[in-house]
Chains A and B, each alone.
Chain A
Amino acid sequence: MNRIIPLDQLVDKVMAELEKKLPAATTQSTTSLREAARTEPSVDVTGFGELASNVPNPKWEEGLDELIASTPARIGVWRAGTRPLTREMLKFRCDHAAAVDSVYGTVSQSLLDEFGLFTVDTYFENTDNYLKRPDRGRIVTEEGVERIRKNCQMKPQVQVLVSDGLSANAIDGNLRDVYPSLLDSLKAYGLKVGTPFFVRGGRVAVMDHIGDILQPEVLVLLIGERPGLVSSKSMSAYMCYRPRKGTVESDRTVISNIHPLGTPPLEAGAHIGTVLKTMLEQKTSGVHLDI
């Protein structure tokens, strides 16, 4: 199944930038990942402290610290026979408990007010229904459609949307960094942004319905990803050139894993701007985008 993040054919330019940044990020990671891990609620709240080695007699002690610092993955965990140690197993279960709970959160109203985002609902009704009926999350309610028509600029060059998706925490945790840097980037490229708003209970394909209503040149949806154990706050940016009903998955471009331990939110905002600009130049998106 398609579990690849289809950020197919990101331009050489973007790649070159990333190539410059990745080694830098890697060299910083020895300290910064560990620091970031300390600020992760999943670590603090559950009280398991920072990541540390359990391996009793490693061949290379310092080497092990280096490995553990280089990734949020649960390594250097050791074993009882072939099974995990008790504390590691319980830590895993605690993180799972936190992730399950984050599916049922809501985005803070003050955050939406701060950026002047008004809210429309999809037909999702409630979280259980949202999980079982993704089709409901793809259509804005009649009332919402009216509100969009009344409040929004029609046919904008760039339409920005925000949605809770599967993790309200992802929006609460990243929007303050991603959103301003995205607007800065768009401004720097001289692109014109329409009227942004918030979609409660949205699925990715809600882009198509809103695309039909507003007819933007390009649209970006900042949406909460399904929560993981390391990151219950991961956000994705789905982008599409002229999204309309019938748009297929491979027409969309995605930057995923936006959170402090993944794609850094500030950098993500700037990247999104660059990708949108490229889409406008090439008049296409998804696998057809070739830069």
Chain B
Amino acid sequence: MNLTAALFGKTFQFKDLKEVMAKANEEKSGDQLAGIAAEDAKERMAAKLVLSDLTLADIRNHPLLHPETDEVSRVIEEAVNEKIFAEIRNWTVAEFREYLLRQETRNEEIRRISRGLTSEMVAAVAKLMSNLDLVQAASKMEVTTHCNITIGQRGVLAGRAQPNHPTDSIQGMKASLYEALSYGIGDAVLGINPVIDSAESVKAILNATKEEMDKWQIPTQNCVLAHIKTQMRAIRQGAPADMVFQSLAGTQDGNTAFGIDVKLLDEADDMIRREGTGTGPNLWYFETGQGSELSAEAHHGIDQVTLESRCYGLAKKYKPFIVNTVVGFIGPEYLYDSKQVIRAGLEDHFMGKLQQLPMGVDVCYTNHMKADQNDMDNLAVLLAAAGVNYIIGVPMADDCMLNYQSTSYHDIATLRELMRLRPAPEFENWLEKMGIMENGRLTPMAGDPTIFM
């Protein structure tokens, strides 16, 4: 494995794959915080050059985190199809990039070779791609999933209704939910983040969303984004959950910090299959985001793009209905400004899709980050072009509970009109029945939440 590159009359020598992977990243404040980023632009390019000549076998043969010591590595390693890997093991990362971008490489081919990939190979190729490369390659990949309805079809842009309330008031939550539905949002999930992470609270919210689904015959699925243990307690107490939710990290230590491990996820998986109310087969909702491993001091010197890709390798095991990267939530110490957030959003969407995940993105930022709503407009358009399965819908993009800004009900409706995208088919039929949508466009009634009172 050659770890040397000559560039501008200087020889750059890297000590191992971990260093090459980190330094080949586009600039991220999180990699700088971890002390593993490229020193300057030239060193970054030297790392990219070295990486482009490595083979997929080189990457697999030099694990960044050994499967013997890390269960996320084990999950990723065990999922590799050896026959397919044998076909592509001698490709360089450069050749892999060109393969993905070639016109004759279609969704079917990518889906097949994806079974021979590890998360590290996926991260490696993302590091050699431009933003437009990431958009184009991702746009080829169609990942459809089914919980109570199907989403992810080409030409469909779904939305999560995220009607959070700062005191978990059921009445207040329903008010924001009615507003969402009246704009045609809620086909991905009616998903609420509770303030109080307790079984009682989870149960009350699941009951409330289920009530609305039953009353108005809404073809969608519900979920409450509490800790998995809390959801399991609520389900045991009879709460109606179509899906279960959990945040994931890309290392075993990171997951320990989240209070989870593979064994617990397996238990929850078993439970939602036996005791959940969703049709399936896809019954999970996962969230991820670059930087969470470093935040938990569980990154093992590995860069945040690679760790994010490993989250997807873990997520894949549970065949989720939806996955999203909460890309700008973590703060400026990991993604400093709008340029870094936009890059990370495109990387995450691409890396997830290449691992056959139903990727959504929470296009978002916090108030201590150098970004604003205009930057979110930009990223949302890019992701819609890349074929993102869903984005988040919050009233006027302002989440009054989590204290950050995402995308709005208006934004999803606008992207659908602008990019000729539609809600999930079953949901669109329902919107037509309710008089909210006609031929893919909102009717004059849309935007009036009292139609659900």
Contacts and interface: CB of A to CB of B under 8 A. Distances in A.
A4 B194 CA distance: 8
B63 interface: no
Nearest to B418: A82
Contacts of A67: 175, 178-179, 449-450, 453
A152 interface: no
A3 B193 contact: yes
A64 B258 contact: no
Given A9-B229, A67-B178, A227 B195 contact: no
Contacts of B84: none
A75 B395 contact: yes
A228 B402 contact: yes
Given A18-B196, A18-B200, A82-B410, 16 more contacts: A1-B325, A1-B330, A5-B197, A7-B197, A64-B450, A70-B175, A76-B179, A82-B413, A96-B367, A133-B333, A228-B400, A229-B367, A250-B258, A262-B166, A262-B195, A286-B259
Interface string A91-127: 0110110011011000000000000000000000000
A261 interface: yes
Interface of A: 1-10, 12, 14-15, 18-19, 22, 25-26, 29, 55, 57-61, 63-64, 66-68, 70-79, 81-84, 88, 92-93, 95-96, 99-100, 102-103, 131-135, 166, 225-232, 234, 248-250, 256-257, 261-263, 286-287
Q: Which of A1, A6, A96, A249 has the most CB of B within 10 A?
A: A1
A72 B247 contact: no
Interface in B129-177: 163-176
B429 interface: no
Contact of B166 (A26, A77, A231): A231
Contacts of A133: 33, 333
Contacts of A230: 166, 398, 400, 403
B257 A100 contact: no
A8 B259 contact: yes
B227 interface: yes
Contacts of B201: 15, 18
Given A132-B33, A257-B195, A286-B259, A8 B171 contact: no
Contacts of A225: 403
Given A7-B196, A75-B175, A22 B396 contact: no
B227 A83 contact: no
Contacts, number: 252
Which of under 10, 10 to 19, 20 to 34, or 35 or more describes the interface residues of B?
35 or more
10 contacts: A1-B288, A3-B329, A7-B196, A15-B199, A75-B178, A79-B413, A92-B396, A96-B373, A103-B367, A262-B401
Nearest to A64: B450
Nearest to B172: A71
A135 B33 contact: yes
B443 to A, nearest CB: 12
Interface in B279-324: 287-289, 291-292, 295-296
Contacts of B395: 73-75, 77
A121 B115 CA distance: 52
A249 B410 CA distance: 36
B256 interface: yes
A100 B176 contact: no
Given A71-B165, A225-B403, A84 B408 contact: yes
B166 A261 contact: yes
Contact of B396 (A63, A64, A88): A88
B227 A93 contact: no
B405 interface: yes
A18 B168 CA distance: 11
A144 B341 CA distance: 36
Q: Which of B33, B165, B199 has the most CB of A within 10 A?
A: B165
Given A22-B167, A93-B373, A225-B403, A4 B197 contact: yes
A134 B296 CA distance: 12
A15 B198 contact: yes
B59 interface: no
B417 interface: yes
